């Protein structure tokens, strides 16, 4: 069991903290206070190809309107995995919105003309969000995080982004590739998420803890027949935790002790049993 130290990526619109990443573009570290392994890159412990990339994203301005390819297209064209992701909203200014999909079905040519005529904004689907919401972004979904939002993003370990539109900024766009991968999907958002949620690539659960409790991971990584599930936790033997709020003391069955607070991130072996005690307004996002 250990806390992670993020790789920080500054952006024109805010910043990203890659809190769990073994991706070559930015790797997170093991907290320096961890005995024997403190300060090492997490890939030295969890493996070179951990199947998730998890970020905290703070937006002070709009991100570009973008889309990510699915696994088949990304493998064939970019020699990497695709990017399906979801966002759990940690905080949002009053009236905050996100772009999640298109407001109706469009042909490639209709979108190409809208981009050329600088009218893409009229094709986008805007959804209001607030603290505690969950938004699912399957590969092929046009999307953008807008200003005034802080969230945790759970995604496939890919750094492939095709920009359609960048609000007048002069960064590179990738119009034809983006048009190739758009799927015209409009996924649902979950208001006031309480969990669980799962898709092909990960499973999430939000847990509110008010008193001392033990957490066992057997059911999370094995089915009723005892077979290991095809989840990141099942494949790698590691579970990720993100502390949404509060404080607590954690003790593993192997004797490790850690005090945690809001926005700490931990990785725990699935064969550990955790004792959670001295809790104060404690909520976590468990990522399997």
Of the candidates 163, 169, 171, 269, the residue annotated as catalytic is: 163
In the structure encoding, which two tokens stand for residue 21, read together? Answer: 């990443």
How far is Cα 161 from Cα 69, in angstroms, rounded to an integer?
8
Residue 142 has pLDDT above 80, yes or no: yes
Q: Which domains does the chain have, with CATH numbers?
A: 51-190 (2.60.120.10), 197-287 (2.60.120.10)
pLDDT tens string 157-184: 999 999 999 988 888 999 999 999 999 8
In the structure encoding, which two tokens stand for residue 236, read together? Answer: 């790698």
Q: Across the chain, how many H-helices and E-strands are there?
A: 6, 21
Separation in Å, CA 256 to CA 35, 79, 242? 9, 40, 18
In the structure encoding, which two tokens stand for residue 111, read together? Answer: 């979108």
Residue 186 has pLDDT above 90, yes or no: no
Q: Which region holds residue 246: left if phi is over 0, alpha if psi is between -120 and 50, else beta? A: left
Separation in Å, CA 176 to CA 6, 181, 257? 33, 9, 52
Predicted pLDDT of residue 177:
97
Residues 18 and 26 sit within 8 Å (Cβ to Cβ): yes
Predicted pLDDT of residue 217:
85
Measured torsion, CA atoms of residues 162, 164, 169, 170, in degrees rounded to the nearest 10 = 70
Predicted pLDDT of residue 220:
74
Is 163 an annotated catalytic residue?
Answer: yes
């Amino acid at each position: 069991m250990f806390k992670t130290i993020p790789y920080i990526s500054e952006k024109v619109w805010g910043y990203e903290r890659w809190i769990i990443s073994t991706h070559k573009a930015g790797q997170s570290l093991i907290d320096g206070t961890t005995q024997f392994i403190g300060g090492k890159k997490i890939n030295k412990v969890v493996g070179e190809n951990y199947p998730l990339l998890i970020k905290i994203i703070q937006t002070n301005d709009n991100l570009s309107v973008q889309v990510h390819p699915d696994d088949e297209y990304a493998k064939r064209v970019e020699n990497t995995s695709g990017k399906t992701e979801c966002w759990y909203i940690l905080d949002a200014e009053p009236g905050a919105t996100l772009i999640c999909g298109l407001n109706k079905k469009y042909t490639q040519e209709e979108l190409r003309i809208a981009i050329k005529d600088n009218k893409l904004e009229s094709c986008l689907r805007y959804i209001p969000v607030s603290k505690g919401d969950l938004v699912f972004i399957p590969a092929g979904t046009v999307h953008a995080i807008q200003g005034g939002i802080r969230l945790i993003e759970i995604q496939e370990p890919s750094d492939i982004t095709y920009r359609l539109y960048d609000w007048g900024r002069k960064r590179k766009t990738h119009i034809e590739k983006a048009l190739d991968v758009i799927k015209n999907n409009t996924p649902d958002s979950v208001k006031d998420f309480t969990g669980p949620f799962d898709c092909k690539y990960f499973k999430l659960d939000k847990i509110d803890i008010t008193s001392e409790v033990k957490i066992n991971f057997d059911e999370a990584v094995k089915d009723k027949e005892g077979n290991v599930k095809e989840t990141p936790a099942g494949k790698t033997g590691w579970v990720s935790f993100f502390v949404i709020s509060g404080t607590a003391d954690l003790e593993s069955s192997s004797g490790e002790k850690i005090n945690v607070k809001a926005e700490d991130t931990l990785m725990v072996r699935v064969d550990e049993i955790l004792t959670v005690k001295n809790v104060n307004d404690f909520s976590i996002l468990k990522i399997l």
